[in-house]
Chain A
Amino acid sequence: MKLTLKIWRQKNANTKGRFETYQVEASPDMSFLEMLDVLNESLIAKKEEPVAFEHDCREGICGTCNMVINGEPHGPMQGTTTCQLHMRHFKDGDTIVIEPFRASAFPIIKDLAIDRDSFDRIIQAGGYISINTGQAQDGNAIPIEKQTAAEAFDAAACIGCGACVAACPNASAMLFVSAKVSHLAHMPQGKVEAKRRAQAMVKQMDEEGFGMCSNITACEAECPKEISVEHIARLNREYLSSTVGSEVKV
């Protein structure tokens, strides 16, 4: 299949970017990243600068392959990362517009590669959970209700890719932060520091310059792990209750 690609090229954070148009010959069996690999090989063969994009596991669990494809983070397929998006979902002759995630807290490094250190700093602000060191505990020693475990797992599925920020008209990181806070607040191991964690992570999120949540729910629609905005409500509850009912300082 023959495709026309319009890709955002930007040398570094300080230069102005622009769209460049490329032609590429792909097979419907390729993943989206493999299609970009083919493009880059042809660019290298022509002694041109290849398109910089991030990728790591290529199996949908690391959250690195972030780009906006035809106006949607991770492309048009629901619950799918870019690396798991296959070219069979496009048609021969299609024009595909590829842009980086755009948010003030995600500055562009080069082309499609963005700096998501802000997410790492939020995670660091979250701190530790209280588990004893030494021999691994018996899995059944801490009983957790099935429903609770399932809800915690839904939140834990967050791979921190940043699609929620990219999709949000306000560039808010609430879905990401709520997934982390909600995941740990559900579990007995995480409950011990739950109040401090909610306070610290929200504080760091605000310092990083993410936007506020207007409950638009574009984040849930574009999340490759389909994390629900119910977790945002839970974060709001955790934050409100720790503000009112706890003396914890962060």
Chain B
Amino acid sequence: MSWFTNFLTSSIGQKVVMSLTGLFLIVFLIVHLTGNLQLLAGDGGKAFNIYAEFMTTNPLIKTTSYLLYAGILLHAIQGWALWRQNRKARGPHRYAVKVNRVAGTNSFAASNMAWLGTIIFVFIVVHMYQFWLQMKLGDVQMVTYDGKEVANLYALVSATYENLGFVIFYVVSMIVIAYHLLHGFQSAFQTLGLNHRKYTPFIKGVGKVYAILVPLGFAIIPIIMYLNQ
């Protein structure tokens, strides 16, 4: 094997893959949230629909979106592989008594990243089926702004959020993402070796704020749209 494949299959290399794809997805969340908040613009969905049209037709964005799908899949598949190897390393016997003491914070999130990740993956599949696939298949009504016809994704979203079940599903999924980020954000830096007494407290602080504010930003969208219907 070449030095590069040796590296990618080593324990640290596999974690670096998790870290880099994780950081990429973290950056994506900000972009996604900024776009989605236009759903609350109160203009009947005009800003959001024009934005959605731009995001689905701009070639640069389209290329990036394929990188994003690859990133999600790589993060999920590598994470699953790590979970399997870690279980094997732990062995067939569990401790009869186990105290989960950790030096860092959020021991729950840290020890359950694989389960949190699995729930998030299911969420992504449902989420993409509901909106992304319907856009791709063209199963969306059209609307005309200033003489230009675009897909009325806003109508589809607001119809979905009239269903209380979906609102709850989205909000609970955001709580799961918050926990995943609570550990994942700072863990990504540690894996890359970026630990320094001057900067690590700052990274951990930013990570906490990010893990709370971003999922909260996503969660208020279905809640407000449900209440405003």
Spell out A's residues near B (CB within 8 Å).
6, 8, 17, 19, 68, 70-72, 76, 97, 99, 102-105, 167, 169-172, 174, 202-203, 205-206, 209-222, 228-230, 232-240, 243
Contacts and interface: CB of A to CB of B under 8 A. Distances in A.
Interface in B68-115: 82, 85-86, 88-91, 93-104, 107, 110-111, 113
A103 B90 contact: yes
A222 B95 contact: no
Given A104-B89, A170-B89, A240-B12, A19 B190 contact: no
Interface of B: 3, 7, 10-16, 82, 85-86, 88-91, 93-104, 107, 110-111, 113, 183, 186-187, 190-195, 197
A221 B107 CA distance: 11
B117 to A, nearest CB: 11
A17 B96 CA distance: 12
Given A202-B12, A218-B107, A236-B192, A105 B89 contact: yes
A206 B88 CA distance: 12
A113 B13 CA distance: 33
Given A103-B90, A240-B12, A70 B192 contact: no
Contacts of B95: 68, 71, 99, 102
B173 to A, nearest CB: 22
Contacts, number: 147
6 contacts: A19-B96, A71-B97, A205-B11, A209-B89, A215-B104, A218-B111
Contacts of B186: 215
A103 B89 contact: yes
Given A71-B95, A233-B193, A240-B12, A216 B86 contact: no
B12 A217 contact: no
A221 to B, nearest CB: 4
A215 B110 contact: yes
Contacts of B195: 229-230, 232-234
A230 B7 CA distance: 22
**7 tightest Cβ-Cβ pairs between the two chains A and B:** A233-B195, A237-B193, A211-B89, A220-B103, A236-B193, A170-B86, A71-B97
Nearest to B3: A243
A132 B10 CA distance: 34
Contacts of A232: 190, 195
A103 B86 CA distance: 10
Contacts of A210: 11, 89
Contact of B16 (A17, A99, A169, A240): A240
Given A71-B95, A215-B190, A221 B89 contact: no
Nearest to A103: B91
B3 to A, nearest CB: 7
A214 B113 contact: yes
Given A103-B89, A216-B107, A233-B194, 10 more contacts: A70-B97, A170-B89, A172-B86, A206-B11, A209-B89, A210-B89, A211-B86, A211-B89, A236-B12, A238-B193
A216 B102 contact: yes
